Structure 1
Amino acid sequence: MIANMPSNPLSLEFKIKQPRIKREENPPAIIFLHGRGADENDLIGLAEYLDDRFLFISVRAPFPWIFSGGYTWFEIEDLGKPDVSMFEKSYNKLVHFINEIPDQVHLDKNKIILCGFSMGAMMAYSVALSEPDQIFGVIALSGLVPEGNMQYKWVKVAGKPFFIGHGIHDSVIPVSYARRSKEILIKANANVTYREYDMDHQISEETLADVVKWSTKLINTAKRNNDDLHI
């Protein structure tokens, strides 16, 4: 069952889907971060295909996007360069949300995976690289690592699991940005799984199948090895 959850006193609006198989009081969680012009309903449907043990939370970006009626995390000055003021507000709200949600919902705060699409992937990267102790892993679909004046904690990124999926025909964020993101993370000794697909700016069935495999292996490996991950 998918339920609407009030944001008050939380920072952002969201929807939640409980694990289909609840083996732990505090299950691992995947937080979905949608792209520009969508909302919290956009990615929650992916939960039907992912491992039954996950708790799923789908978050709404804080700013209305007037062109579609959806929401956005920020406006873009240039590809890969967010409007600084909007980005900082969204970033702070998202970090605050991630810190406060374990007090409202039963989940394992040490096993939070961020799954972002497009602009949502940029937010996932930003939080995971700036606050790596808060994030267990990242699924970045059709996105890029924001560069510039970001204060990333590269030393703590070593070993952090990242799944990057991108279309070679992406007409919104060219695949070169994903390749650049991969190289940045590899240089930081992150644990990177990188896949390219014969698609545009989207999530294909093949992409979803790889995400399912990666995320299931991630929690299985963590359980066997007491979080000593090497995938």
Structure 2
Amino acid sequence: MTLLETVEHQTGPDPRWSILWLHGLGADGHDFAPIVPELLRAGWPALRFVFPHAPVRAVTINNGARMRAWYDIRNLQIDQRADEQGVRESIAQVEALIAREVERAVPPERILLAGFSQGGAIALAAGVRREAALGGLVALSTYLPMASTTGAEATKAGLGTPVFMAHGVHDPVVPESLGQRSRVVLESLGMAIDWHAYPMPHSVCAEEIRDLGDWMHQRFLAG
């Protein structure tokens, strides 16, 4: 498999942790790169941030316009939102990037998989299915795709992975109720979810970045 192109940022030599961060629909790997200095804290280990570019594909609900997307969105019905084939292809591409981090001497337990919106959906879908647990999952303004098959396909290691989920209560794109529903599904399978809600639309806010930094800090202390 050809690796996706990525934007990378290292906070020091010989990174001990990697954060693989997936952008939302129509954006690219540059979208969240500016968040790095806002997140960083004194005393953290050297980190490698990896921001991949999703493939360009036609998106049905956008009149078939071609844009970077982790999967097609065929209609606005919640249970039919995500193109399963596209989701599974993106999971495989993310797995290839995780494997590269392992080859670069960062083990799975020191890899965080993060994503916003579509990217967060892939992060959740990939994370719960892994045989080797990651250090944590970050799912921002998103939902769990293929929820009906997750119980059968999730692994013990995947369900044991710590999760930070955050959502805007005024989100007109991915309603908070959909994020909450996904949280309930994952918790019913035994997953521990650190849930946060903020008075914002489909976006990221300073308070959210602070809370995410706190959560990441705990992962680094544990690892």
Deviates more, 1:93-102 or 1:193-202: 93-102
Change (3 A) 1:191 1:132: farther
**What SS class does the counterpart of residue 30 from structure 1 fall into?**
strand
Instruction: Find the counterpart in structure 2 of residue 31 from structure 1.
Output: 20
**Separation in structure 2 between the aligned mates of residue 160 and residue 47 of structure 1, nearest angstrom:** 23
Instruction: Give aligned-pair identity as a percent.
Output: 25
Instruction: Find the counterpart in structure 2 of residue 12 from structure 1.
Output: 4
**What SS class does the counterpart of residue 201 from structure 2 fall into?**
coil
Instruction: Find the counterpart in structure 2 of residue 107 from structure 1.
Output: 106
Instruction: Find the counterpart in structure 1 of residue 74 from structure 2.
Output: 77
Letter in 2 for 1:122: A
- 1:112-131 equivalences under 5 Å are 112-131=111-130
RMSD: 2.2
Contact 2:130 2:155 in 1 (8 A): no
Measure how far apart 1:136 and its partner are. Answer: 1.7
Instruction: Find the counterpart in structure 1 of residue 198 from structure 2.
Output: 197
Contact 1:63 1:71 in 2 (8 A): yes
**Separation in structure 1 between the aligned mates of residue 149 and residue 183 of structure 2, nearest angstrom:** 19
**Separation in structure 1 between the aligned mates of residue 173 and residue 69 of structure 2, nearest angstrom:** 15
Change (3 A) 1:44 1:74: same
Contact 2:129 2:158 in 1 (8 A): no
* 1:69-108 deviation digits (Å, cap 9, x = unpaired): 75111111243531233222222222222123332x3434
Deviates more, 1:63-72 or 1:147-156: 63-72
**Separation in structure 2 between the aligned mates of residue 170 and residue 73 of structure 1, nearest angstrom:** 20
Question: Which runs of no fewer than 5 residues in structure 2 stay unpaired?
Answer: none
Letter in 1 for 2:140: L
Contact 1:63 1:74 in 2 (8 A): no
Deviates more, 1:150-159 or 1:126-135: 150-159
Question: Which runs of no fewer than 5 residues in structure 1 stay unpaired?
Answer: 1-8, 224-231
TM-score (norm 1): 0.81
* 1:40-72 deviation digits (Å, cap 9, x = unpaired): 101111111223422211111122468787511
**Separation in structure 2 between the aligned mates of residue 129 and residue 180 of structure 1, nearest angstrom:** 16
Letter in 1 for 2:69: T
- Equivalent pairs counted in the alignment come to 210
Change (3 A) 1:44 1:88: same
Measure how far apart 1:15 and its partner are. Answer: 1.3
Contact 2:18 2:101 in 1 (8 A): no
**Separation in structure 2 between the aligned mates of residue 48 and residue 208 of structure 1, nearest angstrom:** 11
Change (3 A) 1:36 1:157: same
